[in-house]
């Protein structure tokens, strides 16, 4: 391994650990973030000549600690900071069984008292180790906006004293679900990136979301929804290269080259889904979505798909999450089992709630096309193209519309 | 650490009922017993407010609240809590007791 690779690997594996342990020691996210960044900069400077240390993580933590102490000495308020740090740690609750500093860091960054945009930016910075320009690029926001979001979030954490700890067992399910929302948001932006000037699929974002979800799974291995989300991401990521054609057009599931799917990711995703089935606990939203994707990725082609199994899973999902978007996706399975006419009746009932959602019109357009109602189908495709924000999807919808017989 | 828990009267609110008053009393007693109590009070409606500006040493008195709003402060608690999670838990119970939306804000 080259020094450069060693630094990249250390950054991936150790960044969150270094930030987390410094936050615990100094009780200040700002100091932790800055000192961690300085420690990695020192590694970039020194490792090529001094060699990679035998324990990169320990080297980075020690260096970052030294940087933080230097800064506090410079600012001559070490005593105050230590007092403050002490206060932050006086936790009235007994230590949790999941006592990992990185977990504390994740829960602090994803605290519900922070706006969702702030949670996403803060998590990518503090846990993911992305730089502000990288996050700005990922979220299609300006660097100054992202920088401000992170600064404000850190200021609120300090001023309102958002605690640096793993929530109590009683609060854990809701708080974990808040963390997963942040990760799923990052993943989805990579899965179907929005905006005319961005690549349709953003592997950097999906890979980062998967990496962070893996981290949370190692920290909370018994949480079914964490495992479910990881499985869902892996089974989706497995189809990444097959999802966009050479000409930059989105390829729908029925037209994808299944030979191009990543069998290693699929095997891992299936293994996780089986693990959750074996657990025998009522599954949550992500576990059901993962199971649906497991059915799709088990089929040789569209016709071979076990649609009754897919529909049964959607029925289960509707009970957990009775949202119109879930009802829309369920209708797609209904179309395969009971035909497009039955499905269309279901879809039409969702119009009021979903009229601003491109997938609603795309689904309607496809059902109308299959029923030979070309004119109505064309109008629905027009509406879908107008609302779709993803370049590859727009190209796909436009082609399908133009292939309609008049 | 002290937090101000503001009780917000909004369009979904109605005048306080005896049941709410009783629930608030129980909640207040709990705050006192647990050591979270600092201070609390209910406010008369904004119609009863008077604004005074004496910055130029000539006190100008005007009628009414300084902000005309459909949402206004109906009362508040000042609570002592070790961190925001504890404050939010208490505030959630306070919101339930007084049957109003509340805002939690730390003192500097």
Residue from B3, B84, B108 whose CB has the most chain A CBs within 10 Å, to mutate: B84
Per-residue model confidence (pLDDT) at position A79: 60
Tens of pLDDT along B96-105?
A: 999 999 999 9
Cβ distance B83 to A113 less than 8 Å, yes or no, reads no
Per-residue model confidence (pLDDT) at position A306: 96
Quick check: B92 contacting A, CB < 8 Å? no
Q: How far is A3 from chain B (nearest CA, A)?
A: 43
**Closest by Cα among A242, A253, A295, A289 to A270:** A295
Q: Please state, in angstroms and rounded to a whole number, the distance separating the CA atoms of residues A391 and B36.
A: 55
**Residues from chain B contacting residue A161 (CB–CB below 8 Å):** 1, 82-84, 106
Nearest to B84 among A90, A91, A160 (CB): A160
Q: How far is A156 from chain B (nearest CA, A)?
A: 10
Per-residue model confidence (pLDDT) at position A88: 47
Quick check: A44 contacting B, CB < 8 Å? no
The encoded tokens of residue A234 equal 């892996």
CB atoms within 10 A of CB A359: 17
Per-residue model confidence (pLDDT) at position A340: 96
Cβ distance B82 to A90 less than 8 Å, yes or no, reads yes
Give, to the nearest 10 degrees, the angle between helix A307-320 and helix A285-298: 170
The number of domains in chain B is 1
Q: Please state, in angstroms and rounded to a whole number, the distance separating the CA atoms of residues B34 and B27.
A: 11
Beta bridge partners of A195: A390
CATH code reported for the domain at A1-90: 1.10.1740
Q: How far is A163 from chain B (nearest CA, A)?
A: 6
Cβ distance B106 to A160 less than 8 Å, yes or no, reads yes
The answer to whether A381 touches A404, Cβ cutoff 8 Å, is yes
CB atoms within 10 A of CB A279: 13
Quick check: A279 contacting B, CB < 8 Å? no
Cβ distance B83 to A161 less than 8 Å, yes or no, reads yes
Give start-end residues of each CATH 1.25.40.10 domain in chain A: 333-406
Pairing of strands B72-80, B101-106: unpaired
Q: Which domain holds residue B38?
A: 2-106
Per-residue model confidence (pLDDT) at position A97: 44
Which sign, positive or negative, has the C-alpha torsion A210, A215, A220, A222? Answer: positive
- For the cut 70, the answer to whether the pLDDT of residue B6 exceeds it is yes
Is A333-406 assigned to CATH 3.40.50.2300? no
Q: Please state, in angstroms and rounded to a whole number, the distance separating the CA atoms of residues A356 and A354.
A: 5
Per-residue model confidence (pLDDT) at position A99: 54
CATH number at residue B102: 3.30.70.1060
* Element housing A400 (H / E): helix A391-402
Residue from B83, B92, B106, B108 whose CB has the most chain A CBs within 10 Å, to mutate: B83
Helices (H), chain B: 18-34, 84-98
A109: helix, strand or coil: helix
**Closest by Cα among A313, A309, A285 to A224:** A285
Cβ distance A161 to B1 less than 8 Å, yes or no, reads yes
Whose structure tokens read 């008369």?
B44
Per-residue model confidence (pLDDT) at position A377: 97
**Cα distance from N-terminal residue to C-terminal residue, chain B:** 9
**Residues from chain A contacting residue B82 (CB–CB below 8 Å):** 90-92, 161, 163
The encoded tokens of residue A233 equal 């991401």
Nearest to A159 among B86, B88, B106 (CB): B106
Quick check: A264 contacting B, CB < 8 Å? no
Give start-end residues of each CATH 1.10.1740 domain in chain A: 1-90
Whose structure tokens read 């306080």?
B16
The answer to whether A183 touches A229, Cβ cutoff 8 Å, is yes
Q: How far is A159 from chain B (nearest CA, A)?
A: 7
User: pLDDT tens track of chain A, all 406 residues?
Assistant: 889 889 988 998 899 999 999 999 999 999 999 999 999 999 999 999 999 999 999 999 999 999 999 999 988 765 665 555 544 444 444 444 455 788 899 999 999 999 999 999 999 999 988 889 888 877 778 999 999 999 999 999 999 999 998 888 888 888 999 899 999 988 988 887 776 666 778 888 899 899 999 989 988 899 999 999 999 999 999 999 899 888 889 898 889 999 999 999 999 999 999 999 999 899 999 999 999 999 999 998 888 999 999 999 999 999 999 999 999 999 999 999 999 999 999 999 999 999 999 999 999 999 999 999 999 999 999 999 999 888 889 999 999 999 997 6
DSSP A214-235: HHHHHHSTT-HHHHHHHHHHHH
The answer to whether A89 touches A28, Cβ cutoff 8 Å, is no
The answer to whether A41 touches A62, Cβ cutoff 8 Å, is no
Q: Please state, in angstroms and rounded to a whole number, the distance separating the CA atoms of residues A261 and A244.
A: 12
Q: Please state, in angstroms and rounded to a whole number, the distance separating the CA atoms of residues B105 and A404.
A: 58
Q: What is the CA radius of gyration of chain A?
A: 24
């Amino acid at each position: 391994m080259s020094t450069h690779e060693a630094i990249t690997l250390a950054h991936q594996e150790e960044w969150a650990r270094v930030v987390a342990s410094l936050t615990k020691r100094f009780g200040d996210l700002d100091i932790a973030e800055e000192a961690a960044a300085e420690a990695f900069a020192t590694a970039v400077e020194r490792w090529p000549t001094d060699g990679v240390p035998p324990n990169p993580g320990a080297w980075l933590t020690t260096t970052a600690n030294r940087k933080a102490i230097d800064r506090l000495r410079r600012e001559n308020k070490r005593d105050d900071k230590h007092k403050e740090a002490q206060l932050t740690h006086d936790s009235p609750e007994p230590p949790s069984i999941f006592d990992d500093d990185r977990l504390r860091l994740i829960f602090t960054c994803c605290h519900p008292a922070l706006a969702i945009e702030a949670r996403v930016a803060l998590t990518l910075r503090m846990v993911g180790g992305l730089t502000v320009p990288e996050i700005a690029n990922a979220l299609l926001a300006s660097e100054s906006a992202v920088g401000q979001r992170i600064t404000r979030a850190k200021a609120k954490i300090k001023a309102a004293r958002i605690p640096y700890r793993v929530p109590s067992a009683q609060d854990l399910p809701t708080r974990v679900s808040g963390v997963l929302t942040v990760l799923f948001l990052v993943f989805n932006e990579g899965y179907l990136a929005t905006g005319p000037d961005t690549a349709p699929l953003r592997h950097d974002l999906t890979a980062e979301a998967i990496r962070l979800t893996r981290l949370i799974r190692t920290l909370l291995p018994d949480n079914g929804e964490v495992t479910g989300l990881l499985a869902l991401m892996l089974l989706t990521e497995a189809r990444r290269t097959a999802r966009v054609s050479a000409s930059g057009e989105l390829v729908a599931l029925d037209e994808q080259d299944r030979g191009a799917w990543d069998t290693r990711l699929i095997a891992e995703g299936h293994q996780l889904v089986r693990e959750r089935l074996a657990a025998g606990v009522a599954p949550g939203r992500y576990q059901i979505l993962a199971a649906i994707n497991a059915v799709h990725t088990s089929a040789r082609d569209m016709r071979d798909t076990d649609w009754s199994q897919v529909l049964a899973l959607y029925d289960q999902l509707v009970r957990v999450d009775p949202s119109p978007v879930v009802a829309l996706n369920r209708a797609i399975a209904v179309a395969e089992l009971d035909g497009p006419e039955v499905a269309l009746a279901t879809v039409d009932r969702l119009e009021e709630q979903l009229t601003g959602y491109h997938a609603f019109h795309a689904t309607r357009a496809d059902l109308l096309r299959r029923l030979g109602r070309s004119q109505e189908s064309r109008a629905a495709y027009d509406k879908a193209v107008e609302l779709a924000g993803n370049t590859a999807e727009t190209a796909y919808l436009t082609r399908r519309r133009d292939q309609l017989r008049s | 650490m002290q937090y101000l828990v503001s009780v917000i009267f909004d369009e979904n609110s109605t005048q306080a009922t005896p049941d709410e008053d009783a629930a608030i009393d129980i909640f207040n007693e709990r705050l006192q017993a647990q050591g979270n109590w600092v201070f609390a009070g209910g406010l008369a409606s904004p119609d009863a407010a008077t604004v005074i500006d004496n910055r130029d040493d000539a006190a100008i008195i005007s009628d009414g609240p300084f902000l005309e709003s459909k949402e206004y402060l109906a009362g508040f608690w000042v609570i002592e809590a070790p961190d925001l999670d504890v404050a939010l838990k208490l505030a959630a119970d306070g919101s339930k007791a007084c049957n109003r939306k509340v805002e939690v804000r730390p003192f500097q």
